[in-house]
Amino acid sequence: MGIEEKINNFLVEEFEVDPARISPSADLKEILELDSLDYIDLVVVIENNFGIKVDPVDFVDLVTFQDFYDYITSRLNSKEPV
């Protein structure tokens, strides 16, 4: 399973969105209806699925799903032990 598919799967599961609404250019926060509390849960699902700890502040600059895939990929490439 590619990283995009893995991310889409856990986002669909956690935030209960229609998979058909997810595309690389779609607006991440709008589609997932994210508020500040949801950022906390995004941190949790990333840790559970990839074993990396991220800072919710990082999400502020992410706009599209592609931004999110790129962010996760870059964090995995510089993965530090958790």
Binding footprint of another protein on the chain (CB under 8 A): 15-16, 37-38, 40-41, 43-44, 47, 53, 56, 82
Q: 66 or 71: whose CB is closer to another protein? A: 71
Q: 52 or 66: whose CB is closer to another protein? A: 52
Q: Minimum CB separation from another protein for residue 32, in Å? A: 10
Q: Minimum CB separation from another protein for residue 44, in Å? A: 5
Q: 27 or 47: whose CB is closer to another protein? A: 47
| Distance in angstroms (rounded) separating the CA atoms of residues 54 and 71 | 10
For residue 75, count other CB atoms closer than 10 A to its CB: 16
Report the alpha-carbon angle 71-41-75, nearest 5.
20
Q: Minimum CB separation from another protein for residue 2, in Å? A: 26
Q: Which residue from 55, 48, 56, 50 is spatially nearest to 73, judged by alpha carbons? A: 50
Q: Residue 68 in contact with residue 46, Cβ under 8 Å?
A: no
